[in-house]
Chains A and B, each alone.
Chain A
């Protein structure tokens, strides 16, 4: 197992280097790990899934609303099945709550049949239009004025953090090198090898995969391609307290209009309720700050969708950037002459599609001449459960009997035990920050945001770091 966070990089020549350890890069690394290859992932941040992947709407999509016939449509559909199965096997929390696309005016009402038809053309056959009575029976707290809805029972909510971490953990355990704090600053080629100049030295590889997310176009240009431009699209989201969870039973989607997909209200697997995202095109690829205007807009929209939601406390406010491009589809291109595959323009469906993207990219690499060798099954990975729908350690008598540390709660709002924090700190891909620890355990992520547990959690984290030196 090799995860490096500092120091010089190995001298060895890798078969494949993947740039970016988001959900897509990590999925690709995991897929490559099934083959007898030497694979490395280089990641600018100090953690996996630390950019777009950590701050999305956390939905496992059916792909019902993709552009029929697009690569995205195919990969989302395939990816949904793959990830659902993988989640069940590895303990990634998924709740099949279903979605309702609620029509609030005549224009939206008129758009529902076309959406139902589009779902069919995307190979999704369970969508149907339901009347206002049924909508309110299923969502009694919905604001007044809903006319009808498209019921999409196959949509689920998922934990994006555990998904990325499961991929990375399994890849690392299977021999992939993960180099964190390793920003790529330049590209070169010599003797048929890619030479990636990073902040920590040079990495050499025969094949290169660009999964650099918001920076995928920059990497692509450095390699001479001008196929797309990423425009960071900011999405601000509000997370409401767990007490709001009983107000919302489905993912409540707006009917998409010419102006975009709009603001949704959805439960989270952690037992909260999400409201968002905004859609703001930005120039700055680091503009993940929230704004007063964004928060006000979300509150206004949320008040219409589920009025009682606004009486609940807000647990957190965050913003993520999606890698939007001028194209209406994923930008996955192979350049066999360069032994290079670019995986750009992966939008919010990237989480769902990640495993299918990984399989597709692996095929493209083979098509570009990479000898994959015999594929093998990886040792299964079992992730700590962060989901409310499954027994958490504090509820498991047998676990506490075997190890009392699972019975000592440190983070009270999220009911995170000292045992879980200890495990996360000692994990194969350990957290580099308190935020990373939160994404692995939920510690410090609850309604008090550290009033009760912040100092104690930080103490556990700092002591572990001091121990490691």
Chain B
């Protein structure tokens, strides 16, 4: 088998907001190459025509990041897929020009996240056409200009679900309802009000999809409310939204330690994984954050990569960090006292008037009042100005919540 081999300074996997931003910042220091398996760079914003990108649409934002990275001197390669590892910082690729083996002084994984499909959510029923995720919906409408169906049900009520509703309505698809198993929507109130009041899409809370119906094409979804009431909504399209999971194949294949909460690789505040010289940034680390957050992480990771290329030592021992139920996850998952940073935190259920308590070996390192309502599917940012109090030789730092009377 012929596989051409070469070396670069920095190899970035994934040309979404995180990967492209990292590339822009690193391109001045040496040979920086970005590998993108899709035919175009830009990642998810390529097919997000709606807001969330400052004053731009997603495609405009994707083009801007691409231009910046290219102008900075990064080599952007599309339709090139990383298939496996051949060493700690060596990756095998497949592309139209053949097979390659590329070794780098630093590797940045920025492969993003995807939505869990119907099957992973174990929704029973038939297997008809017309069952999508938001990602497939947006590509169908925005990249290929095709109408996905005539009448849809959207499963989920987080920001991405509202975006799916707008894509459907824009494509001329009637939206019969949004369905969430949680007691409230999880979007900014203005978005939720816009969907429900102005666009007239009803929201069914504490409701699950019990079964998909139809042969050949979807004919409806059976829904079940928490009190046992059941109904069938006729539709030919159902979109499963949100419920993001990191695209973690490469970190897993590479034996990097993953966080059971995020299912992405664990990192420290400098975006270092457990593989020396291997960094990870963006939505690969934690389901979906907005594109601008992913880009910010790409920039911060680039700074850490520069320090690494300058010879900064790879940390040996760090303090592990984890979140306790009902918190879903916290990132980063390893810290060293001394470097200021912040944490991202996600909850599995709505929390009202909760307090956050951070402990190490039973000792309280930090506590604070959380916002009045903490919403699932949206992250909280927690300051890390207390990490100096952690004992470098102590046990795991645990994030938990408490209800306190106020």
Contacts and interface: CB of A to CB of B under 8 A. Distances in A.
A459 interface: yes
B99 A455 contact: no
B83 A454 contact: no
A398 interface: yes
A317 B126 contact: no
Nearest to B244: A451
Contacts, number: 123
B405 interface: no
B114 A294 contact: no
Given A404-B96, A448-B114, A450-B132, A456 B139 contact: yes
A415 B81 contact: yes
Contact of B99 (A243, A289, A395, A459): A395
Given A395-B83, A397-B1, 16 more contacts: A288-B126, A295-B124, A314-B120, A317-B124, A395-B94, A398-B2, A400-B94, A409-B37, A415-B94, A448-B117, A449-B117, A451-B117, A452-B114, A455-B139, A455-B144, A459-B146
Closest 10 CB pairs of A and B: A455-B139, A449-B117, A404-B96, A454-B136, A451-B135, A455-B140, A407-B96, A451-B114, A397-B2, A290-B124
A283 B38 CA distance: 46
Given A292-B210, A415-B81, A314 B119 contact: yes
Interface string A305-335: 0000000011111100000000000000000
B363 interface: no
A458 B140 contact: yes
B367 interface: no
Contacts of B37: 409, 412
Contacts of A295: 122, 124
Contacts of A451: 114-115, 117, 133, 135-136
A395 B79 CA distance: 15
B226 interface: no
A70 interface: no
Contacts of A292: 124, 210-211
Interface string A393-410: 011111011001101110
Contacts of B114: 448, 451-452
Contact of A449 (B99, B118, B140, B213): B118
A397 B3 contact: yes
Nearest to B47: A455
B12 to A, nearest CB: 17
B241 to A, nearest CB: 11
B245 interface: yes
A435 B130 CA distance: 12
A407 B117 CA distance: 27
A281 interface: no
Given A292-B210, A318-B127, A397-B3, A286 B83 contact: no
A359 interface: no
Nearest to B224: A292
A409 B213 CA distance: 32
A284 B60 CA distance: 52
Contacts of B144: 455-456, 458-459
Contacts of B232: none
A269 to B, nearest CB: 19
Interface in B1-32: 1-3
Nearest to B245: A313
B215 interface: yes
Nearest to B118: A449
Contacts of B122: 295, 314, 317
Contacts of A413: 249
A412 B39 CA distance: 12
Interface size on B, as a range, is 35 or more
B94 A409 contact: yes
B98 A316 contact: no
Interface in B98-120: 98-99, 114-120
B330 to A, nearest CB: 20
Contacts of A400: 94, 96-99
A400 B81 CA distance: 14
B125 interface: yes
Contact of A316 (B97, B119, B136): B119
Interface string B121-155: 01011110100110110011001101000000000
A405 B96 contact: yes
B52 interface: no
Contacts of A317: 119, 122, 124
A447 interface: yes
Interface in B191-227: 210-213, 215
Interface string A270-294: 0000000000000000101111101
A434 interface: yes
A459 B144 CA distance: 7
Nearest to B96: A404
Contacts of A459: 144, 146
A394 B83 contact: yes
A318 B248 CA distance: 25
B95 interface: yes
A450 B133 contact: yes
A357 B396 CA distance: 63
A398 to B, nearest CB: 7
Interface centre among B3, B94, B114, B252 (most CB of A within 10 A): B94
B148 to A, nearest CB: 9
Contact of A407 (B94, B126, B136, B249): B94
Contacts of A458: 140, 144, 146
Contacts of A401: 2, 98
A455 B143 contact: yes
Contacts of A294: 124
A113 to B, nearest CB: 39
Given A314-B119, A449-B133, A452-B135, A289 B96 contact: no
A224 B116 CA distance: 51
A394 B125 contact: no
A325 B46 CA distance: 54
A408 B39 CA distance: 9
Contact of B129 (A286, A415, A434): A434
B97 A289 contact: no
A462 B145 CA distance: 13
Contacts of A318: 127
B124 A289 contact: yes
Contacts of A448: 114, 117, 133, 135
A415 B133 contact: no
Interface in B68-103: 79, 81, 83, 94-99
Contacts of A415: 81, 83, 94
A397 B95 CA distance: 10
25 contacts: A289-B124, A289-B125, A289-B212, A291-B211, A292-B124, A313-B245, A316-B119, A318-B127, A394-B94, A397-B1, A398-B2, A401-B98, A407-B95, A407-B97, A415-B94, A433-B129, A450-B117, A451-B136, A452-B114, A454-B132, A454-B140, A455-B136, A455-B139, A455-B144, A458-B140
Contact of A454 (B39, B99, B139): B139
Interface in B34-64: 37-39
Contacts of B127: 318, 435
Nearest to B111: A412
Nearest to B142: A455
A313 B132 contact: no
A433 B249 CA distance: 28
A396 B94 CA distance: 9
